[in-house]
Amino acid sequence: MSASVNQNYLKLNESYLFAEIARRIREWQSAHPELSSQLIRMGIGDVTRPLPKTVVDAMVKAAQEMGVAETFRGYGPEQGYDFLKTAIQSYYKKFGVELALDEIFISDGAKSDLGNILDLFDENNTVLVTDPVYPVYVDTNMMSGRKIIYAMSSEENGFLPLPAPEYRADIIYLCSPNNPTGAVYDREGLTKWVRFAQENNAILLFDAAYECFVTGDLPHSIYEIPGARDVAIEFCSFSKKAGFTGTRCGYTIVPDTLKRDGASLNKMWLRRQTTKFNGVSYITQRGAEAVFTESGEREIEENLQYYRDNAAIITETMDRLHIYYTGGKNSPYIWLKCPSDMDSWSFFDKLLNEAYVVGTPGAGFGKSGEKFFRLTAFSTHENTREAMARFEKLVQSMSL
Ligand code: PLP
């Protein structure tokens, strides 16, 4: 007898992208130590604004409660406290979406739930992802050996692929606003995906981690689309909305009405969570609840506006240079076409070597990203302005 490993792990690609970026930066720094202090990182996917004061105050108060016998709390409900679920329920009402409290599951972030949800599905299910893709969708399915098909995006479809007969799959991932492309589906686009899922009895896994950046009439939630309750699970996060990337809190919505093979996915997810998860800390959930208070919302809006202003500095530069891009309007990501038809790693090297600016090569997110590049709005105003001034100078010199 001997324990044998899950062979699927051995087939995973190395998580090459960010390791390779770090390697190239190190190499550049050791070749040019005198320039190191001028390096500007525009590739970061992490937020930089601190937690809002209202959130910190709520967590301090909750921590103090934990130190007093009368208000101490031990294990909480695995699926989250009602006070936070009620706050989320009210937030969804703003988009006209009615949720029952038992449809909302609090988690330690969207990434874990996006991976864990796959426990509910057969390993023979096929999976559709849009390419370029947030790598977690691909890797988590590879770990259980599922077949993955790719819906290619491009300039032609504005990086918003729509259903086609060859995209028939059992599980379909959509991310809107998208990471890495920043592209956002409108109601019409999402309606087509919901209909496609209905026709094929598929499940949509809708990643709304960036919904807080959406403005105007674009949908925040898949449940704004009629019929979505019967086909979709939604994942959301406090990471980008409220700076919780290190604090860790998110939520997943599994409608009561969602069934496959006669089984309720809501009941299955409840069973999964109560067995394998012991909930998010009381202190963190009180902090997340404060996100939805009047002062919390105001402070969060200031932070989001800070990132939006950075995104505007980037998109204005692209507009002046007549560079094609998606995102930046309802998203912290700007996905641009590399100048002079360069491939994304060559442009990465050029930008690093000649402008001392770091971004993320599109090829790291899939085949469709080959000649594209991702910049993020999570830096400071000062660095974003300086990086874009250097970017502009570099691109102008390329066209001389
Ligand atoms: N989904 C997308 C598309 C993301 O880009 C990220 C984080 O960058 C996540 C989910 C993970 O969010 P969380 O911090 O809640 O785990």
HEC readout, the chain = CCCCCCHHHHCCCCCHHHHHHHHHHHHHHHHCHHHHHHCEECCCCCCCCCCCHHHHHHHHHHHHHHCCCCCCCCCCCCCCCHHHHHHHHHHHHCCCCCCCHHHEEEECCHHHHHHHHHHHCCCCCEEEEEECCCHHHHHHHHHCCCEEEEEECCCCCCCCCCCCHHHCCCEEEEECCCCCCCCCCCHHHHHHHHHHHHHHCCEEEEECCCHHHCCCCCCCCHHHCCCHHHCEEEEEECHHHHCCCCCCCEEEECCCCCEECCEEHHHHHHHHHHHHCCCCCHHHHHHHHHCCCHHHHHHHHHHHHHHHHHHHHHHHHHHHHCCCEEECCCCCEEEEECHHHCCHHHHHHHHHHHHCEECEEHHHHCHHHCCEEEEECCCCHHHHHHHHHHHHHHHHHHCC
Is the pTM higher than 0.85? The answer reads: yes
Pocket around ligand 1 at a 6 A CB cut-off: 45, 109-111, 134, 175, 179, 207, 209, 237, 239, 245, 250
Q: Return the CATH fold of 7-51+295-398.
A: Aspartate Aminotransferase, domain 1 (3.90.1150)
Cα(262) to centroid of ligand 1, in Å?
31
- Interval 3-7 mean pLDDT: 95
- Give the distance (Å) from ligand 1 centre to CA of residue 13: 20
Q: How confident is the model at residue 13 (pLDDT cuts 50, 70, 90)?
A: confident
Question: What is the Å distance from ligand 1's center to 219 Cα?
Answer: 18
Please state, in angstroms and as integers, the Cα–Cα distance from residue 56 to each residue in 192, 196, 239, 331, following that order.
Answer: 41, 43, 15, 25
Ligand 1, residue 179: give the atom nearest the CA. 3
pLDDT in tens, 148-162: 999 999 999 999 999
Going by CA atoms, what residue is nearest to atom 5 of ligand 1? 179
CATH topology for the 53-293 domain: Aspartate Aminotransferase; domain 2 (3.40.640)
pLDDT, tens digit, for every residue of 263-285?
999 999 999 999 999 999 999 99
Output the CA 142–ligand 1 centroid distance in Å.
Answer: 18
Confidence of residue 49 (pLDDT cuts 50, 70, 90): very high
CA of 64 to the centre of ligand 1 (A): 30
Of the residues 44, 179, 244, which should be mutated to test ligand 1's pocket, given the most ligand atoms within 8 Å of the CB? 179
Residue 18 pLDDT > 90, yes or no? Answer: no
Pocket test for ligand 1, best of 114, 134, 159, 251 (most atoms within 8 A of CB): 134
Q: How far is the CA of 43 from the centre of ligand 1 (A)?
A: 15
Instruction: Write out the residue limits of the CATH 3.40.640.10 domain(s) in the chain.
Output: 53-293
Distance 270 CA to ligand 1 centre (A): 22
Residues 82-89, mean pLDDT to the nearest whole number: 98
Q: How far is the CA of 209 from the centre of ligand 1 (A)?
A: 6
Least confident piece of the model among 44-48, 345-349, 359-363, 375-379: 44-48
pLDDT at 261 > cutoff 80: yes
From 107, 111, 241, the mutation candidate for ligand 1 (largest count of ligand atoms within 8 A of CB) is 111
- Mean pLDDT computed over every residue of the chain: 96
Instruction: Compute the distance from residue 315 Cα to the ligand 1 centre, in Å.
Output: 23
- Ligand 1: atom nearest CA of 240 is 14
**Nearest alpha carbon, ligand 1 atom 12:** 110
pLDDT of residue 235: 98
In angstroms, what is the span from residue 30 Cα to ligand 1's centroid? 32
Mutate to test the pocket of ligand 1, among 51, 114, 239 (most ligand atoms within 8 A of CB): 239
Q: CATH 3.90.1150.10 region(s) of the chain?
A: 7-51+295-398
Report the pLDDT value the prediction gives residue 16, as an integer from 0 to 100: 76
